[in-house]
Amino acid sequence: MEGIYGVFVFIIGSILGSFFNLCIFRIPSEESIVFPPSNCPKCKSNIKKYDLIPIISYLILRGKCRNCSEKVSIQYPLIELLTGILFTIIYLYFGFSVELFLYLVLVSVLIITSVIDINTGYIYERVSLVGIIAGVVFIVYKYISSGEMLTYILGGVAAGGIIAIIILLTNGMGWGDAEVAFLCGLFLGLSSSILMIFLSIVLGGIGASILLVFGKKSRKDAIPFAPYISIGGLIALLYGEGIVKAFLSYYGLY
């Protein structure tokens, strides 16, 4: 049964992913994400309902607009696929629960914010705000259901705070990165938040080195950091407890 629900969650994820594509392209240009409906950026023709099937429509149309044959960015099916896969992984891990719904909001915010950061180098407050609101709802729910609250507040403060200190010392990141770290921390609790920051800095270092080696970026270019916080945050969400325990017991602390 879980497999059938998994497929269902994947389909929901990929449909939402196609809405996230719209957000990713429209938020930086200050366009409405509600109106007008999806259209071709070149010929402006509205995309037909039957051409809006996530991933499949792209394959059927071979990545071209049905009306004018303008190439459609590969980013569209990739975001749909990524959203479907991440939604399914998180569902399989947490099962149907209130937490699952809030984690899916978190993942959605991270996908939109990371891809906009990669495309434009900017992080938009209204995207982060959705994540912060979901984080506050998550904390309230945790408090009601288990009495736990402090670790999540500390997680947000610690994650946002560490990035803020890095910004003040090095100028290497932007305040948007601190917002993203803060909102992830609200969901993770203190120890997983610290793990997330550690992972994101390591992954960011590796990513930046690769881009430097292949000459895609120079030393002066700012690297978009939100994707690394997001990857670190997702690893910490799924495996944080286990990794932190293994680490502590290795040093005889647990």
Interaction site with Zn ion (CB under 5 A):
40, 42-43, 65, 67-68, 70
Residues in Cβ contact with 11 at an 8 Å cutoff, skipping those fewer than 6 apart = 54, 84
| Minimum distance of Zn ion from residue 73's CB (angstroms) | 13
What are the structure tokens assigned to 92, written together? Answer: 């399989």
Nearer of residues 65 and 105 to Zn ion, judged by Cβ = 65
Nearest to 163 by CA among 239, 225, 220: 225
| Minimum distance of Zn ion from residue 37's CB (angstroms) | 14
Dihedral (Cα; 239, 157, 209, 202), 10-degree rounding: -40
Identity at 89, one-letter amino acid code:
I
Nearer of residues 45 and 249 to Zn ion, judged by Cβ = 45
Nearer of residues 48 and 245 to Zn ion, judged by Cβ = 48
Phi, psi for residue 71 in degrees, rounded to 5: -65, 135
Phi, psi for residue 49 in degrees, rounded to 5: -55, -45
| Minimum distance of Zn ion from residue 33's CB (angstroms) | 20
| Minimum distance of Zn ion from residue 186's CB (angstroms) | 41
Q: Say which DSSP state 95 is in.
A: -
Nearer of residues 15 and 40 to Zn ion, judged by Cβ = 40
| Minimum distance of Zn ion from residue 50's CB (angstroms) | 16
Name the burial class of residue 147, with classes exposed (0-12), middle (13-18) and buried (19+) by CB atoms within 10 angstroms of its CB. Answer: exposed
User: Which residue's entry shows tokens 């970026």?
Assistant: 217
Nearer of residues 40 and 211 to Zn ion, judged by Cβ = 40
| Minimum distance of Zn ion from residue 35's CB (angstroms) | 19
| Minimum distance of Zn ion from residue 219's CB (angstroms) | 40
Phi, psi for residue 64 in degrees, rounded to 5: -130, 155
Nearer of residues 42 and 245 to Zn ion, judged by Cβ = 42
Identity at 12, one-letter amino acid code:
I
State how far the alpha carbon of 183 is from the alpha carbons of 34, 214, 219, in Å.
25, 32, 29
Do 79 and 19 form a contact (C-beta atoms < 8 A)?
A: no
Nearer of residues 47 and 234 to Zn ion, judged by Cβ = 47
